[in-house]
Amino acid sequence: MIIHVVSSGETLSGIARRYGSNVSQIAAANELPDPNRLTVGQALVVPIAARQHVVRSGETLWQIAQRYGVSLDALVRVNQLANPNMLKIGTVLVIPARIHTVQSGETLWQIAQRYGTTVQEIVKLNRIQNPNLIQTGAVLTIPFPKPVIDVNAYTINMGGTGAGEVREVGRHLTYASPFAYIMKADGTLGSINDTPIIQAAIERHVVPMMCITNFTAQNPGTTLAHTILSNPALQERMLTNIINIMNEKGYRLLNVDFENVRQTDRELYNQFLQRAVDRLHPLGYFVSTALAPKTSSEQKGLLYEAHDYEAHGRIVDFVVLMTYEWGYRLGPPQAISPLNQIRRVIEYAVTVIPRNKIMMGFQLYARDWLLPHVQGQEAETFDMQEAVRRALQYGAAIQYNERAQSPFFRYTDGQGRRHEVWFEDARSAQAKFDLVKEYGLRGISYWVLGYPFPQNWLLLEDNFIIRKM
């Protein structure tokens, strides 16, 4: 797929002609409410069988052609390069899809093996009705190679609402995790209406992941965490309750989210995780944890000190890095998930946690702050589609922070108040996917379902094969 950023005076029909697509395809892919209204800086996904490559220092066209398995001639022709030997750093090249003409006796399996892809990917891209009947001479578009990753998504909406969210994007998920069972000081757990969500997950071949936590919006959970972590008998009781719920409801994994834990309880937390693994592994269950976004083992603060990256990486099956919330709802306006900050967290994490155990967090919501910001004043939280609607409504040009790899804009509302909005778009999503590929991570964990972001799911599928258990 191609990501196109709208310039002044551009129309959807002109963009469609440029890439050999059509207006209806682009409008549908981006779920545009009005195809006749675009705003400067708006990023659009163009659903064609091509990719983009940003030229880096020292790269040659030959190296880029080799990387993507395409010919030099094709790159020169598609990008209308006057001088292929003079590539500027930062130039965005369109990488055309590879084409294969079916030879006599060839099977889709053989073709998939030749190009490092799968039969399913070829069938889907070429809309083949019967994979066992391919004609000699048929011209097939070959998918770009994709790594296989795990994808998790948390949902905070219970019952039918949460179930609907899982059904809607279930084909893109490996795990679904209703958030959350609240721990109690006696080792029991609060109840949640998660049965419809689990049923929806199973229908979509998604593995239900049970999540437990010690905190609520009203209570940081520090004292509760100490009470549980300092008492082995309480832990055993809680683990027995967890196992009973997993058995009864069909959960296959446990996600442990102890937050705001005292530094003095750090080793006790590690011991609890080992106890959980020792209880759950023999039953065929897996254990994961949610970790605050640290950049070193010595990072100070209640959110970080008890989260021992090295120990979690050794003990549990995988971890979810909560790489979001720099743009906190009660803090000043800034990118919610800035790529430069996420990179710092991952650079540290991979030194102490195996890469195939790391899930990178990705937020699915936008925020709108009033200006000037007053400390403690809460930003409004909504979905990416609403962010674009507001930019259109108020005639705001969307800007892009290259360091954070995040879009933002400012506008004045009908009451004369100034606002600043930070959100995600196709560019920032692609940048995060590229980071996952660069570091060879296990996958991505979304916080949280319920906020429409159609570009994300299209690009996720374009970049990765989602593992199904």
* SS3 readout for 149-181: EEEEEEECCCHHHHHHHHHHHHHHCCEEEECCE
CA distance 228 to 338: 34
* Phi, psi torsion values for 141, nearest 5 degrees: -85, 130
Copy the structure tokens of residue 52. Answer: 């983009």
Question: What pLDDT score was predicted for residue 376?
Answer: 87
Question: What pLDDT score was predicted for residue 324?
Answer: 98
Question: What pLDDT score was predicted for residue 259?
Answer: 98
Q: Which helix (H) or strand (E) holds 316?
A: none
Cβ–Cβ under 8 Å, residues 345 and 323:
yes
CA distance 238 to 232: 10
CA distance 267 to 440: 29
Question: How far apart, in Å, are the Cα atoms of 310 and each of 287, 337, 349, 353?
Answer: 16, 23, 8, 6
Give the residue from 358, 435, 363, 310 showing the smallest Cα distance to 154.
363
* Phi, psi torsion values for 418, nearest 5 degrees: -90, 145
Question: How far apart, in Å, are the Cα atoms of 189 and each of 154, 240, 258?
Answer: 18, 11, 14
CA distance 439 to 347: 9
At residue 368, the 3 state secondary structure works out as: strand
DSSP E strands, 196-279: 207-213, 253-257
Contacts for 77 with CB less than 8 Å, ≥ 6 apart: none
Active site residues: 259
DSSP string, 402-453: TTTTEEEEEEE-TTS-EEEEE---HHHHHHHHHHHHHHT-SEEEEE-SSS--
Q: Which helix (H) or strand (E) holds 145?
A: none
- Residues of the chain whose pLDDT is less than 50? none
The strand pair at 139-142 and 148-155 is best described as: unpaired
3-state helix, strand, coil in the chain (%, to 5): 40, 20, 40
